[in-house]
Every structure is written in C-alpha cells, then in structure tokens.
Amino acid sequence: MAIGSIFGTYAGGMLLGVVPGSIVLPALAAILIVSAIKEWRH
C-alpha cells in the first residue's frame, strides 16, 4: 500500500507539470472518492 502511495504522489507531481492543476486535482479527488466507496463496501 505504501508503494502505491509513493507512486501516486510521484505521478501526481509529474502530471502537475504537464496538465493544469484545475484538471489534475479534481481527477485525483475523484479517484480518492471512488477508492473510499470501494473500501467502505468491502
């Protein structure tokens, strides 16, 4: 789980340099919400 967090942080940081933050941040928020829902149902 820690490896995924580290990779996600790195990938998010790289995307901020290429894609505007107004697109990356809502996408990351959506991923977190979907993950939370999946975890809640488990």
List the pLDDT tens digit at each of the 42 positions of the chain.
678 788 888 887 887 778 887 887 888 899 889 989 998 987
In Å, what is the CA distance from 14 to each residue of 27, 36, 40, 41? 14, 24, 29, 31
Q: Rounded to an integer, what distance in angstroms lies between the CA atom of residue 42 and that of residue 22?
A: 31
* Domain-wise residue ranges, the chain: 2-41
- Residue 1: the pLDDT is 62
What amino acid is encoded at 33 in this protein?
I
pTM: 0.57
Q: What is the pLDDT of residue 33?
A: 92
pLDDT score, position 30 = 92
- What distance in Å separates the CA atoms of residue 42 and residue 20, rounded to the nearest whole number? 34
Q: Is 34 exposed, middle or buried (0-12, 13-18, 19+ CB in 10 A)?
A: exposed
